[in-house]
Amino acid sequence: MAAVTCSPVRQDVPGGEGEDKPDNSVPAGPLPKALVISASVDGKKIPSGSSAGGVSLSPEISLTFTREISVDEASLGAVTFSGGAFTAERDPSVSSVLVVRPSQSLEPLKKYKFEIAAGECFGVNLQQAYSFSFTTAFDDSGDKFPQIPDEELLTLVQQQTFKYFWDYGHPVSGLARERYNSGDTVTSGGSGFGIMAIPVGIERGFITREEGAERMRKIIGFLEKADRFHGAYSHWLNGSTGKVIPFSANDNGGDLVETAFLMEGLLTASAYFDRDGEADIRSGIDAIWRGVEWDWYTRGGEKVLYWHWSPDKDWAMNMHIRGWNEALIVYVLAASSPTHSISADVFRQGWGSFTFPVAKSQPLFFAHYSFLGLDPRKLSDQNGSYWAQNVAQARYNYDYCVRNTAGHAGYSENCWGLTASDYPGGYTASSPSNDKGTIAPTAALASMPYMPDESMAALRYFYYKLGDRLWGTYGFRDAFCLDTGWFASSYLAIDQGPIIAMIENHRTALLWKLFMSNEDVRAGLDKLGFTYE
């Protein structure tokens, strides 16, 4: 059966005597009732009212009716397709299937709508309309930027990402803004990651040592006067005044996990700034470090650490810090404190015992945040090898994306990585067990020590293939979803920081060496029964 073409501008069908009729015309009289029971695009079923992503630029749209249909030009008036002109014909092998094809290639990463209206069409009386939408795939056939050697590309990514913390750092405090366009809201944990980026920036020649030292003095001076809650900092601070910005109604005091990330960065910086003229940096950091009352957060001596405490809401948040999650560094630092240390029993009973590998299906930041400074390569305890745990989680995340059983657009061996990030509906901790179809560059790039070949393949894809949409002023934007053609406009401190740090740990182990050289940290690891050399 020949295809019938519909132009984007509908015309009345001529009906003069003697004109040829289509060979599948329908005799006069009442038309039989029918429904569209299913539709598919490129073989992927799309229920009415729903959408699909990753559709080819020349898709085949199929609709299955409950009975045999016929196709004439007049019937095509019931079809609305935002892609312009199309052809339609009955499937030659299945008389109840209508096949529609656009007359020209569609645009990449664009949403298209398709609808068949209820009423008399295709030789039936269609009882209900059927509509859906789809987003076309990204055209990754060409490079968006010139190819450069991998080592140059790694440096470029670190340098561009560094600008988030250096150029966009808060002008008063020097700390990291929570996200792009967050104004005076700075983040304590993200600032710890940004502080770790300063030695990298110096060693890579992005800034001078003198510039890095001055930024550290600004940060230390601000932290000395900022709000603290038994030594812990709040999740968010006002970068101009140092006053707490509540993270939620009951979270307006100390956040021990965010504080641990901040201390991780400060202790790393203290080890780096080891020259005679930098003693004030070391002493300032030491005073802040000694002021954290880790033992207070056992809530009067319980065998577990608590995440939050507030001067007016007290322990209302009531969140234990238990593993496996991103917070191993909290227990390590709490045991390492020379002034307010916890016992090994708090770690064993509070954090917990595991059989590694554990929680492989969780977001990848579990393998990143604690390990920007804490070197996992030889780290082990009664639970097993932390290196093996982190490699297993990264591998599981990668394999899940490659298998792509959920059918998300773009997932492949070059496009993978699920972790906490922005997504089209807001913010979520994406993972194989919470897959929103959204890839975050930080997930794969911060896994470079664990899976260097796979992470490098992702880096090349993000830069060369998606770079015109994904690469910006401060490095890679936070995330993207090819199901809908969505690319974030945002940058987040907690996602940008691990990119710089973990790429550097892959290249030189700089931050691991600095953090692990701290005598307090080593004493804490010994107390908790870790081996690390």
Query: Whole-prediction pTM value?
Result: 0.91
> Which residue segments constitute the domains of the chain, with CATH numbers given?
4-9+31-136 (2.60.40.3710), 150-527 (1.50.10.140)
For 113, the token pair is: 């709508």
Look up residue 413 and give its amino acid: E
Q: pLDDT per position in the chain (533 positions), as tens?
A: 457 776 543 333 333 344 444 445 445 678 999 999 999 999 999 999 999 999 999 999 999 999 999 999 999 999 999 999 999 999 999 999 999 999 999 999 999 999 999 999 999 999 999 999 999 999 888 999 999 999 999 999 999 999 999 999 999 999 999 999 999 999 999 999 999 999 999 999 999 999 999 999 999 999 999 999 999 999 999 999 999 999 999 999 999 999 999 999 999 999 999 999 999 999 999 999 999 999 999 999 999 999 999 999 999 999 999 999 999 999 999 999 999 999 999 999 999 999 999 989 999 999 999 999 999 999 999 999 999 999 999 999 999 999 999 999 999 999 999 999 999 999 999 999 999 999 999 999 999 999 999 999 999 999 999 999 999 999 999 999 999 999 999 999 999 999 999 999 999 999 999 999 999 999 999 999 999 99
Which residues lie closer than 8 Å to 469 by C-beta, 6 or more apart? 109, 480, 487
- What is the chain's length? 533
What residue has token string 């954090």?
A: 351
Contacts of 157 (CB under 8 A, 6+ apart): 445, 459, 463, 475, 476, 499, 503
Map residue 330 onto helix, strand or coil. helix
Other beta carbons less than 10 A from residue 353's beta carbon? 11
Concatenating the DSSP letter of every residue in 139-174 gives: --SS-SS----HHHHHHHHHHHHHHHHHTSS-TTT-
The Cα angle at residue 107 between residues 106 and 108, in degrees rounded to 5: 120
Quote the CA–CA distance of 444 and 466 in Å, as a whole number: 15
Q: Whole-angstrom Cα distance, residue 135 to residue 375?
A: 43
